[in-house]
Structure 1
Amino acid sequence: MFTGRFSIAFSLVAVPCFIAIANDDSPFQIGVARTDITPDYPIRLTGYAVRKTESEGVEQRLWAKGLAIGRAGESPAILVTVDNCGVSALIIDEVAARLRKKTGLPRERFAVCSSHTHSGPCVTGFAPNIFAMPVPADQQSRIERYSNELVDKLEQVALAAIADRKPARLSWNEGRISFARNRRTAGGPTDPALPVLCASGLDGRVRAVVANYACHCTTLGGEFNKLCGDWAGYAQEAIEHDFPGAHGLITIGCGADANPYPRGSLELAEQHGQELAAEVKRMLDGHLSPILKNLTCGMKRFELPFDKLPTREQWAERARQDGIVGYHAKRNLERLDRGETLPATLPYFVQTWNFGDQLAMTFLAGEVVVDYALRLKKEFDADRLWITAYANDVPCYIPSRRILQEGGYEAETSLWYYDRPARLAPAAEDLITGAVHELMPKEFVADPKKAEFPPPKSPDEALAAFQAKEGFTVELAAAGPLVVDPVAVDWGADGRLWVVEMRDYPTGLPDSAVAPDARNQTPPPPHAGGYRPGGRVKLLEDVDGDGKYDRATVFLDGLPFPTGIMAWGKGALVCAAPDILYAEDTDGDG
Structure 2
Amino acid sequence: MSKLLLAATSLDVTPPPGHRLDGYAARTATATGAADPLRATLIWLSTADDPGVLWLSLDAIAVGRGLVAELSAAAASAAGIPARRVVVSASHTHSGPSGWTGEIHPVIPAEREPALYEPLVAAVANASLPRRPVTASWRSVEVIGVGANRHRKNGPHDNTAGVLALHSLEGSLEALLLDFACHPTTYGPENLRWSADWPGAARAALAPAVVGYLQGAAGDVSPRFTRRGRGAEEVARLGGLLAARVREALAGPGLELPQSAPAIRRTTIDLPVRRVPPAEEAAVTVAAAESAVRGGADHPSMRIAQTRLDGARGQVLMATASLPESLELPISVVTLGEVCWVNLPVELFALHGACLQADSTHPITRVVGYTDGYYGYIVDPSAAESGAYEALITFFDQPTTNYLLTETAAFINA
1:375 to 349, 355, 359: 355
> Is 1:216 equivalent to 2:167 in the alignment?
no
Match of 2:139 in 1: 173
Which of these residues, 32, 37, 56, is aligned with residue 80 of structure 1?
Answer: 56
Distance 1:304 1:399 in 2: 15
Find the partner of 1:390 among 349, 355, 370: 370
The answer to whether structure 1 residue 352 and structure 2 residue 324 are counterparts is: no
Question: Following TM superposition, by how much is the alpha carbon of 1:306 offset from its aligned partner in structure 2, in angstroms?
Answer: 2.0
CA change 1:224–1:170 in 2 (3 A) is: same
Counterpart of 2:46 in structure 1 is: 70
The residue number in structure 2 matching 1:150 is 120
Counterpart of 2:374, as a letter, is: V
Instruction: For 1:125, give the aligned amino acid.
Output: G
Task: Name the counterpart of 1:124.
Answer: 101
Asked if residue 251 in structure 1 is aligned to residue 214 in structure 2, the reply is: yes
Are the counterparts in 2 of residues 198 and 206 from structure 1 also a CA contact under 8 Å?
yes
Q: Give the structure 2 partner of residue 43 of structure 1.
A: 19
For 1:424, the equivalent position in structure 2 comes to: 396
Larger Rg, first or second structure (1 or 2): 1
Closer/same/farther in 2, CA of residues 327 and 171 from structure 1, 3 Å limit: closer
Question: Closer, same or farther in 2 for the Cα pair 1:370/1:326, shift >3 Å?
Answer: closer
How far apart are the structure 1 equivalents of 2:376 and 2:314?
A: 17
Match of 1:94 in 2: 70
Secondary structure of the 2:16 match is coil
| SS at 1:69 equivalent | strand
Percent of residue pairs identical = 24
CA distance in 1, matches of 2:241, 2:189: 24
In structure 1, the partner of 2:252 is 286
Deviation at 1:431, TM superposition (A): 2.8
Q: TM-score, normalised by structure 1?
A: 0.60
| CA–CA separation in structure 1 for the residues paired with 2:80 and 2:196 | 32
- State the structure with bigger RCO (CA 8 A, min sep 6), 1 or 2: 2
Residue 438 (structure 1) shift: 3.3
**Structure 2 counterpart of 1:174, which letter?**
S
**1:177–1:192 contact (8 Å) kept in structure 2:** yes
1:60 partnered with 2:36? yes
Aligned length: 385
Structure 2 CA distance for partners of 1:31 and 1:43, relative to 1, 3 Å: same
SS at match of 1:269: helix
Q: CA deviation at 1:324?
A: 7.9
Taking the TM superposition and a 5 Å limit, the aligned residue runs for 1:155-554 are 155-157=125-127, 160-161=128-129, 164-178=130-144, 179-240=146-207, 244=208, 246-260=209-223, 261-262=226-227, 263-292=229-258, 294=260, 295-310=262-277, 314-315=278-279, 329=316, 333=320, 335=322, 342-356=323-337, 358-380=338-360, 384-413=364-393, 415=394, 423-441=395-413
CA RMSD in angstroms comes to 2.7
What one-letter code is carried by the residue in structure 1 that aligns with 2:332? Q
DSSP 3-state at the match of 1:191: coil
User: Is the Cα contact below 8 Å between 1:108 and 1:298 reproduced in 2?
Assistant: no
State the shift of 1:434 in Å: 2.9
Q: Which amino acid aligns with 2:6?
A: I
Contact 1:124 1:144 in 2 (8 A): no
Return the letter of the residue paired with 2:102: G
**Unmatched runs of 5 consecutive residues or more in structure 1:** 1-24, 336-341, 416-422, 443-590
Please, what TM-score do these two structures have when normalized by structure 2?
Answer: 0.85
Aligned partner of 1:579 in structure 2 is none
One-letter code aligned to 2:90: S
The 8 Å contact of residues 300 and 435 in structure 1, kept in 2 or not, is answered as no
Compared CA separation, residues 334 and 299, structure 1 to 2 (3 A):
closer
Q: What displacement does 1:102 show?
A: 7.9
Q: Which has the higher helix share?
A: 2
Work out the CA distance in 2 between the residues paired with 1:211 and 1:316. Answer: 45
Q: Deviations over 1:406-447 (max 9, x none)?
A: 33111123x4xxxxxxx41223333333333333346xxxxx
CA contact (8 A) 1:305 1:427 kept: no
> How far apart, CA to CA, are the structure 2 residues paired with 1:393 and 1:213?
19
User: 1:361, 1:197 → 2: CA distance?
Assistant: 11
Query: Residues of 2 paired with 1:146 and 1:70: CA distance?
Result: 31
Change (3 A) 1:107 1:405: farther
Partner residue of 1:529? none
CA distance in 1, matches of 2:315, 2:119: 29
How far the C-alpha of 1:113 sits from its partner, in A, is 1.3
Say if 1:307 and 1:332 are closer, same or farther in 2 by CA, change over 3 A: closer
Q: Find the aligned partners of 2:79 and 2:36 in 1 and give their Cα distance.
A: 33
Matched, 1:112 2:92: no
Q: 1:205 to 1:102 in 2, by over 3 A?
A: closer
The aligned amino acid for 1:437 is A
User: Which sections of structure 2, spanning at least 5 residues, go unmatched?
Assistant: 288-309
